[in-house]
Amino acid sequence: MEGLAGLGINVPTLLAQIVNVVILLVVLYFVAYKPVMRMLDERSRRIKDSMTQADAIKEQAARTEEEVKKQLEAASREGQKRLAQAEKASEEMREKTRQSARQEAEAIIARARGEIQRERDEAIGELRKEVADLTIMAAEKVIDRSLDKKAHRELIDKVLKESDALKKK
């Protein structure tokens, strides 16, 4: 031990310091190390729980995202279906309008034809009267005397009707 004393080391002091350090380590172990370890374990457990919750939230977000995608696809299909129905209804309305316009045009044409036929018949009647009057006037001038207009008109109408019947055949 003299070699240690030559180095300036006092052995009883060294032993006292070693005992003091061991006592300090035992006290620190029970007073500081265990609570610090418990605190670190608790923190580690909270971190694991947080990680588990984060994973669960990620999974929930993924499921929600898939659900939203499915709903968007369903909404898109529904929208396309409604567009197709609207187009079909529009085409049906267009067709009904065309048919209605066609029927209305045919009715107008039929009325116009009837009106034309009536006016034609009136014009022919007036023309017959004028032809009869002109014929009577010409006959009067030729004969140079007054004829019975009513009898001649009946005769002329009869001749005109017979000529019309021949023309139609």
- Kindly tell me the sign of the dihedral angle through the C-alpha atoms of 36, 40, 45, 47: positive
The packing angle between helices 149-168 and 34-143, to 10°, is: 130
Please list, in sequence order, all residues whose beta carbon lies within 8 angstroms of the beta carbon of residue 165, skipping any fewer than 6 positions away.
none
For residue 63, how many C-alpha atoms fall within 13 Å in the half-sphere facing its CB? Answer: 6
Report pTM.
Answer: 0.40
Q: Tens of pLDDT along the chain (169 residues)?
A: 567 667 777 888 889 999 999 999 999 888 888 888 899 999 999 999 999 999 999 999 999 999 999 999 999 999 999 999 999 999 999 999 999 999 999 999 999 999 999 998 888 888 878 777 777 776 666 665 555 777 777 777 787 777 777 766 6
Rounded to whole angstroms, the Cα distance separating 163 from 128 reads 12
